Amino acid sequence: MRSLIDITDFNKEEIDGLISTAMDIIANPSKYAEKCKGKKLATLFYEPSTRTRLSFEAAMLELGGSVIGFSEANSSSAAKGESIADTAKVISCYADIIAMRSPKEGAPLVAGLNAEIPVINAGDGGHCHPTQTLADLLTIYREMGRFDNLTVGFCGDLKYGRTVHSLIGALSGYTGIKIVLISPEELKIPKYVRYNILDKHNMPYEETKSLEDALPKLDILYMTRIQQERFTDKAEYERLKDSYILTAEKMGLAKEKMAVLHPLPRVNEISVKVDEDKRACYFKQVLNGKYMRMALILKLLEEKALDPVNRLSFGDLPLDTTNFKCNNPKCITQVEQELPHTFKCVDEEKGIYRCVYCEKKSTDTF
């Protein structure tokens, strides 16, 4: 049985397979209308969502299945203190597959380790958001016709922007990718993305504060919202919230064939006037997300039918549960009862260990 917790759980061939399925769903929707008849998706959303939750629900309904779930923690027994591990065991008695969003980093991994059914990470804190990445990849494929040899600019909140972390992870599987990181100093990409993905895969990248300087070289511009809900210092949010605003005038600096992506929701970082530009792809991205989530549900349920027993585990990953403590206040280890602080070795030579749940080093700043 497979789950999708991190985009790197799937290799390039598997992602290509999901794209092929999604393209076939687009071409032949009636072929898929009863593929999940009798199956139930549970959407467990401990954090607000419009696109992800409703596209998962639409995806399951269009596959002929049905949906149960909750859309806020307070309407579930989480409000009474029920753990993620217990919730996952309980939902396994009612549903065939789970999509979970949580403000706690690593919560979907805890669910996957405890559920008897596949678990999909629908966004965990500022950590990752692999199914948004699937939407992003289908959009890149449909707009650009390729994944190789692209210069991709990420602009805005690269620190808390979980969709950025996951998309960079996915792009690490392709050749000729150049990354341009556009952010204020305070919102630069986290160290684990820098070291575990960019450096590990020798991905060329540059950092700049200037959107205007970066725009002319980009094939893809991935705009992001400054994530108000993740800031502990509200004054810092107020200072940074208007760091980047993409306007119709600035689009004049970009290539004729550049594609503008944004995971949405947007606040003010893309002027609504840009929506009229043929390079604005963010509403197409929303629709692509539904098709990719349909393909993902099909894949995970097919894999469960082939291997119904073995649930997610750490396998033979070398782990340390005695020497390190995770001090990330947003990590699931801070709230989940008796969950051992578990670290994985990511660099044997340098002796670097990171939390398996949130990927922070115990000494990292957040």
Catalytic residues: 51-52, 80, 101, 129
Q: Toward ligand CP, which CB reaches closer, 292 or 356?
A: 292
Per-residue x/- mask for ligand CP, residues 28 to 57, rule CB under 6 A? ---------------------xxxx-----
Strands 178-182 and 205-208: parallel
Q: Toward ligand CP, which CB reaches closer, 52 or 196?
A: 52
State how far the Cα of 104 lies from the Cα of 35, in Å rounded to an integer: 33
Q: Toward ligand CP, which CB reaches closer, 142 or 262?
A: 262
- b/e map 104-128, b = 16+ CB within 10 Å: bbbbbbbbbbbbebbbbbbbbbbbb
Question: Considering the rule CB under 6 A, would residue 262 count as an interface residue with ligand CP?
Answer: no
Q: Closest approach of Cβ 57 to ligand CP, in Å?
A: 11
State the number of binding residues for ligand CP (CB under 6 A): 9
- Reported as half-sphere exposure (CB side, CA atoms, 13 A), residue 58 has a value of 15
Of the candidate residues 132, 151, 224, 342, the single one contacting ligand CP (CB under 6 A): 132
Q: Toward ligand CP, which CB reaches closer, 20 or 50?
A: 50
DSSP for residue 136: H
CA angle centred on 66, ends 60 and 70, rounded to 5°: 95
Q: Toward ligand CP, which CB reaches closer, 286 or 326?
A: 286
Q: Closest approach of Cβ 357 to ligand CP, in Å?
A: 20
Contacts of 271 (CB under 8 A, 6+ apart): 245, 246, 247, 248
Question: Considering the rule CB under 6 A, would residue 224 count as an interface residue with ligand CP?
Answer: no
Contacts of 233 (CB under 8 A, 6+ apart): none
Q: Closest approach of Cβ 262 to ligand CP, in Å?
A: 9
User: Which among 321, 325, 340, 332 has a CA at the least distance from the CA of 357?
Assistant: 332
Question: Considering the rule CB under 6 A, would residue 264 count as an interface residue with ligand CP?
Answer: yes
Q: Closest approach of Cβ 259 to ligand CP, in Å?
A: 17
State how far the Cα of 3 lies from the Cα of 226, in Å rounded to an integer: 29
Contacts to ligand CP by CB under 6 A: 49-52, 123, 132, 263-265
